[in-house]
Amino acid sequence: MTRYILMTAALALTVYGQGRGRGPQTMASAVKGAYAQIKNNITQAADEMPESGYGFMPENEPRSFAGWVGHVADAQARTCAGLTGTQLNLGASQMTTKADLVAALKKSFDACDAAFDALTDANATEMVNAGFMGMQPRAAALYGVVVHSNECYGAMGVYMRLQKLTPPSTANMGRGRGRGGRGGGAPKE
């Protein structure tokens, strides 16, 4: 029950925070906006990390950069496909090449695009099976995908900085595109 209260509070804050200056936000549009932003950041990070950086793993860390990309792809595929009534097992956590991982990540975002596109204000509170998270309101399950992906992107951003690359969320802020726009992640001098 506490988890649902916290998720509802997080969604309410998202709706409040994102709605300023752009008209009213609905529950569905707020969740979809948060998803679009993290999708952009993770996709750009995976694209911008050179192949040589995919094997990079700081000392005492559980995953390489490739491991983080694979983890995001597998988690998203499993959850989002399940929410649309399908099953998708990518095995991305076992992949090591940039090409394979970027392709798996795209498949996972395709599955999530379908799940997020199906979210409406009318079905946001419908109880759905969110896999290992159990039964949850549809919006909470999808917001859980956003939260998890943001946590993973945070680790990926540190790995990028250790490789002298600027994470996309930082690079886009200076270009007025910090909220989901495309921009390069070129290293800062």
Exposure of 165 in the CB half-sphere (CA atoms within 13 A): 23
For residue range 88-101, list pLDDT tens digits in order: 999 999 999 999 99
Cα–Cα dist 19/29, whole Å? 10
Q: What is the CATH number of domain 2-10+27-36+61-170?
A: 1.20.120.450
pTM: 0.80
CB contact at 8 A, 14 and 34: yes
Mean pLDDT for 50-73 is 94
pLDDT at 189: 32
Lowest mean pLDDT among 27-36, 50-59, 128-137, 174-183: 174-183
User: What's the pLDDT at 164?
Assistant: 96
What's the chain's Rg over C-alpha atoms? 17
> Using DSSP, how many helices (H) and how many strands (E) does the chain show?
6, 2
Say what the pLDDT of residue 182 is. 39
Q: Is the pLDDT score of 7 beyond 50?
A: no
Is the pLDDT at 2 greater than 80? The verdict is no
- Cα separation, 187 vs 69, in Å, equals 20
**Residue 49: pLDDT over 70:** yes
Helix (H, G, I), strand (E, B) or coil at 122: coil
What φ, ψ does residue 62 adopt, rounded to 5°? Answer: -75, -20
All structural domains of the chain with their residue ranges: 2-10+27-36+61-170
Residue 63 burial (CB count, 10 A): 17
What pLDDT score was predicted for residue 23?
A: 63
147 with 139: CB under 8 angstroms?
A: no
Mean pLDDT rounded to a whole number for the chain: 84
pLDDT at 6: 40
For residue 175, name the pLDDT band (cuts at 50, 70, 90): low
